[in-house]
Amino acid sequence: MMTIKDLHDQHLILFKAVTGSKAYGLDTALSDTDIKGVFYLPKHDFFGLGYIPQISNETNDEVYYELGRFVELLSKNNPTAMELLASPVDCVLERHPLMGSFELHELLNKELVESFVQYALQQVRKAKGLNKKINNPHSAERKTLLDFAYVLQGSASYPMVPWLRDQHMHPQFCGLTKLNHSKNVYALYYDRHEDGIYRGILAKIESQEVALSAIPKGEEAVTLLFVNHEAYSSYCKDYLAYREWEKKRNAQRYARTMAHGRGYDAKNMMHTIRLLEVAKDLVATGELLIKRTNRTELLEIKSGKWTYEQLCDQAEVLQTEIADLYPKSSLPESLDSNKLLQSLVQVREILYG
């Protein structure tokens, strides 16, 4: 498996730049150094079976795209690839002369503006997702199907677990039978002598389905039971997603979010505003300006000084301004993908002779 060290040792890097907060002019003392770049494969790997589209380190803060993959991203107006190509001069660490075949000004177009807007809105959804997780945390103890079962009496329903407790009944001595034409509704019987003649409500506590019992003739049901399988299934998905997020979340970033007490990911929302401002500048001036001039304002957003509602309002204002500027822009409607592909082929021919 090829590594970043191999790229350096074999002189395969075509472009390398410091990206992220340092390229945006938004770095602080706590900021990491993110690096992205472009490489090309050795001839035998490119023409053989060893194609590798991307190489990164374990923390993913250093990422290199294979030339073909990079051009593919450019052809799709990918904001990350375009920002890399638009890296400020003081952030560029290596640049092969062949990268001159991909001139940024020839790639800028109105569809790229839309890409930046959509990318910004993704950050809003990410911030909302964190907001939901913070305000609706899952307890460590996982619920069971019993917590989604309800006793039906008259025109009312009652959570089954406390209802059984009030009736001095135990789930393991209950017996259930299906009701015809009534989805997820069961007749509930109870073994008054608690001899264990029924299978209980669940065969095992982690069961995804209720247990059905053979009921002796003449036995009368105590009540009807409704089991909300759909709600339980949704809960299980949310629970697993929450635990996965909890395991992978950036501890430092989460601590900052909890510290400012706004209940949303302020860094995501800062990038929302930043991306919309980049899109606005692009449609207004025809230039992709990565380094931002309003550092103080954006860092205030990152620190949580704005409410979530204020940021959403600001995002709407920026979207409206972009929409107003869009028809007046001199940018091409779309990118010339054929010309971009020709540039790729020409560079490959030079690299591989």
Q: Which whole-number Å values give the CA distances from 324 to 68, 312, 321, in the listed order?
A: 35, 19, 5
* pLDDT tens figures, 94-139: 999 999 999 999 999 999 999 999 999 887 776 655 555 555 566 6
Q: pLDDT value at position 261?
A: 47
Neighbours of 7 (CB within 10 A): 19
Segment among 88-97, 251-260, 274-283 with least mean pLDDT? 251-260
- What b/e readout covers 283-301, taking b as 16+ CB neighbours within 10 angstroms? bbeeebebebeeeebbbeb
Strand ordering across the sheet containing 34-39: 54-56, 62-66, 34-39, 13-19, 92-95
pLDDT of residue 307: 86
| CATH class of the domain comprising 1-105+335-353 | alpha beta
Given a cut of 90, is residue 62 above it in pLDDT?
A: yes
pLDDT single digits (tens) 148-188: 999 998 889 999 999 999 999 999 999 999 998 899 999 99
Token pair recorded at residue 38: 């472009």
Environment class of residue 211 by beta-carbon count within 10 Å: exposed (0-12), middle (13-18) or buried (19+)?
Answer: middle
Residue 200 pLDDT grade (very low, low, confident, very high; cuts 50, 70, 90): very high
Ranges in the chain annotated CATH 3.30.460: 1-105+335-353
Residue 61, judged by CB atoms within 10 A of its CB (0-12, 13-18, 19+), counts as middle
The pLDDT assigned to 239 comes to 85
pLDDT of residue 353: 85
Q: Are 270 and 126 in contact (CB under 8 A)?
A: no
